Amino acid sequence: MTTTTTMGSTETDRPAVASWMPGLRGWLAVVPLVGLCAGLSAQALGLPEIAAWAFTLPTLAVLAVLAAQVATSLSRGDVGLDLIALLSMGGALSLSQPLAGAVIALMYSGGQSLEAYAAGRAGQAMTALLARQPRTALREEGGGVLEVPIAALAPGDRILVRVGDILPVDGRVAAGRTALDQSSLTGEALPVAVETGAPVLSGSVNVGMPFTLLAERPAAESTYAGIVRLVEAARSRKAPMARMADRYGLAFLGVTLLLAGSAWGVTGDPLRALAVLVVATPCPLILAVPVALVSGLSRAAGIGVLIKGGGALETLAKVRVLVVDKTGTLTQGTARLAAARTLAPFDEAEAVGLAASLDQASGHPIARALVDEARRRGLTLSQPTKVTEMPGEGVTGLVEGRHVLVGGPRLMRIHGVPVPPADGVQHVAAAAATVLVAVDGAPAAVLEFADPVRADGGRTLAALRACGIERVVLATGDRRGIAEALVAGLPVDAVAADLDPAAKTDTVLAERRNGPVMMVGDGVNDAPALAAADLGVALGARGAAAAAEAADVVLLVDSLAPLPSAIRIARRARAIALQSVLAGIGLSLAGMVAAALGHLTPLQGALLQEAIDVAVILNAMRVLGGTRTAHESQAACAGSRWAVPPEAKLPRSEPKHDGGGHGLREHPRFRRPR
Cα 413 → chain centroid: 47
With beta carbons less than 8 A apart as the criterion, state whether 365 and 190 touch. yes
At 334 the pLDDT is 73
Distances (CA, A) of 472 to 162, 179, 503: 40, 33, 17
Which member of 170, 325, 478, 526 is catalytic?
Answer: 325
Residues 139-165 as b/e (b if ≥16 CB within 10 A, e otherwise) read bbeeeeeeebebeebeeebbbbbeeeb
**Average pLDDT over every residue of 471-487:** 82
Predicted TM-score (pTM) of this structure: 0.59
Closest listed residue to residue 325, CA positions, set 126, 516, 492: 492
At 540 the pLDDT is 60
CATH number assigned to the domain covering 136-221: 2.70.150.10
- 76-85, 101-110, 189-198, 433-442 — most confident range: 433-442
Q: Where would I find the H helices in 188-309? A: 223-237, 244-267, 270-280, 283-301
pLDDT digits (tens, 9 = 90+) for 254-313: 888 888 889 888 888 888 888 888 888 666 666 677 777 777 877 887 777 778 777 888
Superfamily grouping for domain 336-450:
Calcium-transporting ATPase, cytoplasmic domain N (3.40.1110.10)
**Average pLDDT over every residue of 607-620:** 78
How many other β-carbons are positioned within 10 Å of the β-carbon of residue 647? 8
Q: Is 534 a catalytic residue?
A: no
Band of residue 210 on the pLDDT scale cut at 50, 70, 90: very high
User: Which residues, in sequence order, are CB contacts of 372 under 8 Å at separation 6+?
Assistant: none
**Average pLDDT over every residue of 655-669:** 46
Cis omega before residue 345 (within 30°)? Answer: yes
Q: What is the bridge-based pairing of β-strands 442-450 and 336-342?
A: antiparallel
**CATH 3.40.50.1000: does it fit domain 305-332+454-569+641-666?**
yes
**Average pLDDT over every residue of 54-65:** 85
User: Which residues, in sequence order, are CB contacts of 136 under 8 Å at separation 6+?
Assistant: 147, 148, 149, 150
- 56-65, 212-221, 230-239, 640-649 — most confident range: 212-221
Give yes or no on whether 136-221 and 336-450 have one common fold.
no
At 438 the pLDDT is 94
User: Which residues, in sequence order, are CB contacts of 383 under 8 Å at separation 6+?
Assistant: 357, 360
Residues present in the chain in total:
674
Cα torsion through 373, 379, 383, 387, rounded to 10: -40
Distances (CA, A) of 200 to 193, 476, 669: 11, 19, 39
With beta carbons less than 8 A apart as the criterion, state whether 340 and 447 touch. yes
The C-alpha atoms of residue 352 and residue 355 are separated, in whole angstroms, by 5
446-455, 463-472, 590-599, 654-663: segment of lowest average pLDDT: 654-663
Residue type, 213: L
Q: Would you kindly state where each structural domain of the chain is located, as residue ranges?
A: 1-120, 136-221, 305-332+454-569+641-666, 336-450
pLDDT digits (tens, 9 = 90+) for 363-375: 777 888 899 899 9
At 406 the pLDDT is 94
At 348 the pLDDT is 92
At 159 the pLDDT is 93
Band of residue 33 on the pLDDT scale cut at 50, 70, 90: confident
On the question of pLDDT at 341 being above 80, the answer is yes
